[in-house]
Amino acid sequence: MNIIFASHSPFDEYFVVGSHHLARELAHAGHTVWHIGPPITLGHLLKVSNRNYQKRLWEGLKHPQTVEPGLISLDPLSVVPWQVAKYFLRYGNLFILSSNIASALRSTICDEAIDVLLVDNPRFVGLEKLLKPRSMFYRPTDLYAELKSDSKLLVAERKLLSQSLGVIATSKPVLLHSLTLKPGLPSLLLENGVDYPLFSQPAAEPPELKAIAHPRIVYMGAVDFRFDCAALRYMAEKLPQAQFVILGQGTRLKEIEAMEKPNIHILGPMPYQSMPGFLQHSEVGLLPFCDNAANSGRSPMKLYEYGAAGLPVVARRTPEMGRRKEIFIDLFSSHEEAVECLKRAIKGPTDRKANAESCRAHSWDIKAANLVKFIHDVTREESMQLPEGVPVRRQEFPPVFFNARFLDQEMTGVQRYAHGMLAALGPRLRTLRPKTALSPVRGHLWEQVILPSQSGRSLLWSPGNTGPLSKENQVVTVHDASTLDHPEWFSGKFAIWYRFLIPRLARKARKIITVSEFSKERLIANCSIAESKVVVIHNAIDARFQPASPEVIAAFRERHQLLRPYCLYVGSLEPRKNLSALLKAWRELSLTDFDLVLAGTAGHVFREKGFTDFPIGARLFGRVTDDELPTLLSAATTFIFPSLYEGFGFPPLEAMACGCRVVCSNATSLPEVCGPAFDPKDPASTGAVVYFDPNDQEQLVAQLQVVLAMNTEAANRMKLNGINRAAHFSWDRCASQTWAVLKELLQS
């Protein structure tokens, strides 16, 4: 095939990106590849003193250069810079139209047809009209609008996606972003890979490293606004014996230099081919991303380059990094956790051969083969040639539209479920959401008036309790029947609306998904619907819920002044959560060795319930972040959940997953979800929770006393049973069962 890469980075011996590797591998496989870097404009002449721009300007004035057989590189010139052209995209992209791309390519392509145009850089929008390829695919590698702080790039992405046969993304957040802009597009998740032969083969120690003592913690890459300088400073101060080696360049190097830390060594950019030596003669690879939206979609090449060199990797936890399940990665969410991760990595032991071998599957030759297969599959399925040579689109499988109004709502259990489903099933869904964040009333109006027309006659899935009443071809996930069973717990308007909406919606929709057998029973009773119409699919919990290390717990306790052992409640401070019973029980216990920590906020739809008369030792923690919640749970002695009513019950399961013992209400869905009761006297007990009647304060007091008095052996058995119980609830299982319901309706 004749393939063109329209990339965000020109070929360079120091700065190597994924399109460079893929272009080389495709050329090695026998394809002819042209790699186009971003055009140089008149604005770059102002930076002509920069050696990099001098080189690129000279290359742009020359004809395309042959990098190796089958691979040609072009650094084009353009008259109109993107900063100007982006305001006139409706008339065409002057950034591309005023460039010499077409004339420069003509000298090498001649009259040959371009089979595939792969666009990495949204600023190349419009290139497809200039080159007229047989097919175009968008290959985003970042969340560009956040990366460049440029909303016009969203406009460019929409235009590119509207003309693309498919999208090939390097991370799941980037893929979901693209599919939000163009739902239903054929897609491939193709993470950045590694030059495995280069990084896994033994390399000599570079002379620049010889004067630097061990242990060495190495970072290679851009040192820009996405780099966490504060984390580096903290790590260098807390680990004075460790030597931090920085290989790269960027705008934040001066900030690092100003730290004047004797154990931070800035070596600057080094030739890419020399990198294996720097990595193999260090102890740890570092990925210190800062808390910036642009980092959430990153698929760092250096992750597998570190791993192929045998290094353990310590990285900031992001949505994408949290998804990777590699044996050599240790993730942190705070500076304190970063230090503990580094201590573990330095202490070892490290199986370098196992680390390297685990990266073999991410070699660029395998990535290139998967890319070609995807292109062939999509072009073969998406169009067929009639005898006259007229391309005809194949008839598509009916789409499933996804009601994504929840994306602008506060995170509770319902929103957590919807986000989990979108992450697991996103490529199969066409997301519909309001253009801007709406108030609750306006959100319901959008859902009842606009959403039905946008979804047309196609199947709609509404995951958050509500949906359009006029839509029959619909699946609705209703999480509980609390507004029908106990309207007194809710504000008047909220209760009236939901008591009107849910029964009618349940009768109108083709299927109702709910999250427990208890909720199924209550919906059937309240809505007068057939049992066969309701499907039970249990929720799941995120993989980030796992026991934190003692070091991380100690740092967390100190940071939040949780200096004494504590029992914990996490959830909204709502009437049905029954906190008044918990506070009364705590007052009766009169424990002097424990605190009671309440984490959560008051639900805005619920009637006011003031919690002012707190017993001694009780304190409000306030809203806890998603990053800190697993540590808060791990640090607790016991988790207490006195709820009167739950459709499912996320908090007890999340506590179990973090190795925290659970004392839980036996009401509604909770025994179904949390499993059998734990018997501390029975060594064979497989239960994970101690139950109590939420309406019996004395029983709550007695069960708390039982758990707090357990010996170490019984307490450890209870914790292990809880971890095992929580492991049954995965998003993959939940998504698979949900897709089976949707697919059955599509086929019928």
The 10s digit of each residue's pLDDT in 320-330 is: 888 877 889 99
Token pair of 641, please? Answer: 């959940």
Q: For domain 196-360, which CATH number applies: 3.30.1740.10, 1.10.3720.10, 3.40.50.2000, 2.40.10.340?
A: 3.40.50.2000
At 48, is the pLDDT very low, low, confident or very high (cuts 50, 70, 90)?
Answer: very low
Looking at the predicted structure, is the pLDDT value of residue 109 above 70? no
Are residues 245 and 212 in contact, defined by beta-carbon separation less than 8 angstroms? yes
Band (107; pLDDT cuts 50, 70, 90): low
Q: Which of 461, 440, 192 is nearest to 302 (CA)?
A: 192
Model confidence pLDDT, tens digit, residues 687-717: 999 999 999 999 999 999 999 999 999 999 9
Distance CA 624, CA 420 (A): 19
| CA neighbor of 305 nearest in space, from 641, 56, 21 | 21
Backbone phi, psi, residue 689, to 5°: -150, 150
Instruction: State the amino acid at position 724 in one-letter form.
Output: N
Q: Which residue has the higher pLDDT, 307 or 325?
A: 307
The DSSP secondary-structure symbol of 532 reads G
Question: Residue 270 and residue 275: Cα distance in Å, rounded?
Answer: 7
Q: Looking at residue 568, what DSSP letter applies? A: E
What pLDDT, on a 0 to 100 scale, did the predictor assign at position 631? 93
For residue 182, is pLDDT > 70?
yes
- pLDDT mean across residues, the chain: 86
Which class is 2-188 in CATH?
alpha beta
Question: 398 in helix, strand or coil?
Answer: coil
CA distances (Å), origin 652, targets 648, 657, 668, 695: 10, 9, 14, 18
CATH number of 550-729: 3.40.50.2000
Tokens encoding 237? 């101060």
Higher pLDDT pick, 353 / 388 = 353
Name which residue leads in pLDDT, 151 or 380: 151
Chain centroid to CA 656: how far?
23
Domain 400-540+732-747 fold is: Rossmann fold (3.40.50)
pLDDT of 566-588, one tens digit each?
Answer: 999 998 777 788 888 999 999 99
**Rounded Cα distance, 371 and 369, in Å:** 5
- Mean pLDDT is lowest, of 17-21, 72-76, 362-366, for 72-76
What pLDDT does 614 receive?
A: 73
160/450 Cα distance (integer angstroms): 26
Task: Report the percent of the chain where pLDDT is more than 70.
Answer: 92
Instruction: Quick: pLDDT tens for 364-423.
Output: 999 999 999 898 888 865 443 334 444 433 334 467 899 988 877 777 778 888 888 887
Pair 605, 483: CB distance under 8 Å:
no
Domain ranges of the chain: 2-188, 196-360, 400-540+732-747, 550-729
- DSSP, collapsed to helix, strand or coil, labels residue 597 as strand
Half-sphere exposure of 510 (CA within 13 A, CB side): 17
| pLDDT computed for residue 234 by the predictor | 94
**pTM score of the predicted model:** 0.59
Q: Shortest CA distance to 661 belongs to which of 696, 728, 601, 706?
A: 706
User: CA–CA separation, 285 vs 495, rounded Å?
Assistant: 54
pLDDT (tens digit, 9 = 90+) per residue, 634-658? Answer: 999 999 999 999 999 999 999 999 9
Query: Would you state the pLDDT for residue 428?
Result: 77
For the chain, the first-to-last Cα distance in angstroms comes to 40
DSSP per position, 209-234 = GTTSPSSEEEEES--STTB-HHHHHH
C-alpha span between 409 and 287 (Å, rounded): 31
* Tokens read off for 535: 């499907």
Please indicate whether the domains covering 2-188 and 196-360 agree at the CATH topology level: yes
Quick check: helix, strand or coil at residue 287?
A: strand
Closest CA to 656 of 564, 568, 551: 568
Are the C-beta atoms of 68 and 5 separated by less than 8 Å? no
